[in-house]
Amino acid sequence: MPFTRVVAVDADGKNLRLLSTRDTEYTRGFQLFGGAVIDWLPDEDGAVLMTRNYVPGNNTGNVTRNSLARGRLD
């Protein structure tokens, strides 16, 4: 079953960072879509606007259904 994750890396190939939401031991189900960059925000160094997928979890304060949200990440 295919899945995607969005990552960022420095120009020299170091400092790998996951931009997709992380799964935890409470996550119910599988997260197949890691998100997508909507805008590279060229005037803001090191920031992007992207969609991120959220999968429900079994702990208090977690989302209760699958959802897709947008947000600015630095």
72: which strand partners?
49
Q: What is the mean pLDDT of residues 11-18?
A: 94
The predicted model scores a pTM of 0.77
Contacts of residue 27, Cβ cutoff 8 Å, sequence gap at least 6:
55, 56, 57
User: Per-residue pLDDT for 19 more than 90?
Assistant: yes
Distance CA 53, CA 55 (A): 7
The residue to which tokens 């020299």 are assigned: 12
- For the chain, state the CA radius of gyration: 14
Domain boundary assignment for the chain? 1-74
Distance CA 49, CA 25 (A): 27
Confidence at 48, pLDDT banded by 50, 70, 90: very high
- What mean pLDDT value characterizes the chain? 87
